[in-house]
Chains A and B, each alone.
Chain A
């Protein structure tokens, strides 16, 4: 089971995930939730995710690639030890944007810098 709590801040939304992010309804729930957000900056907090499989990792890559295509931002926050281990096993640590508790603030600043550079 995966539970997602939504935490809003101006122009940034944080999706607080808890449970397991695996193939099936869990991965589909996060996919729909992330896709439905109007904010250009989405933080996915993984501190309470105790298990993830290849489908979950694939979903994070999918959301990351989609955000880049749309010139928006996806940031992962506080990955649990399990999530960190799986990201390391699949060499995704260097690709996905990962931050600690300050992720929402970083997401806001990072996106504003990107906008300034492209303006």
Chain B
């Protein structure tokens, strides 16, 4: 399954996207997730915040969780409730020392080309957490508009 993706719609407000661990498939899924979320975001700013955080989460899953290996599979589950939009990204990697990485990304100015993703996600979303040793990312954005 190289460079492909598929989605399974659970109900009107939840959807799971499955794609392979390569950047081209990731960008296509990012856009499909945002198409799905478009009408559920309170405003354009919230939509942009989610898009950026989603981009970072998916990119980390492809780069670190799959090491750009298209034979590996990433799952992105999106759930919309009246209270919040939740995104869960699961990769097949071994995870990482979440505490150490989160601590290191919050210190000083990073002048390399990488390593800003977690900072951005934490700044843009209301909740960011890792489970399963770092291989499962949970992003939550509270909604300010009722369904």
Known: A23-B27, A51-B52. A58 touches B120 (CB 8 A): no
Q: How far is the CB of A9 from chain B (nearest CB, A)?
A: 29
Describe B's contact surface by its main secondary structure.
helix
- Tell whether B123 is near chain A: CB-to-CB under 8 Å: yes
> Number of B residues whose C-beta is below 8 Å from A?
24
B27 A86 Cβ-Cβ under 8 A = no
- Tell whether B51 is near chain A: CB-to-CB under 8 Å: yes
Known: A53-B56, A54-B59. A91 touches B110 (CB 8 A): yes
A89 B119 Cβ-Cβ under 8 A = yes
A89 B23 Cβ-Cβ under 8 A = no
B120 A59 Cβ-Cβ under 8 A = no
Which residues on B sit within 8 Å (CB–CB) of A55?
55, 59
Q: Within A14-59, which residues are at the interface with B (CB < 8 Å)?
A: 22-24, 50-55, 57-59
Q: Within B93-127, which residues are at the interface with A (CB < 8 Å)?
A: 108-117, 119-120, 123-124
Which residues on A sit within 8 Å (CB–CB) of B44?
50
Known: A58-B114, A92-B109. A52 touches B52 (CB 8 A): yes
- Tell whether A61 is near chain B: CB-to-CB under 8 Å: yes
Residue among A54, A65, A95 making CB contact with B117, cutoff 8 Å: A54
Residue among B27, B51, B59, B119 making CB contact with A90, cutoff 8 Å: B119
Closest 3 CB pairs between A and B? A58-B113, A89-B123, A54-B116
List 16 additional A-B contacts (Cβ < 8 Å) besides A22-B55, A90-B120. Answer: A22-B52, A24-B23, A51-B52, A53-B56, A54-B59, A54-B116, A54-B120, A58-B116, A59-B113, A62-B113, A65-B111, A89-B120, A90-B109, A90-B110, A94-B109, A95-B111
Q: Report B's interface with A, CB cutoff 8 A.
A: 23, 27, 44-45, 48, 51-52, 55-56, 59, 108-117, 119-120, 123-124
Q: Report A's interface with B, CB cutoff 8 A.
A: 22-24, 50-55, 57-59, 61-62, 65, 82, 85-86, 89-92, 94-95
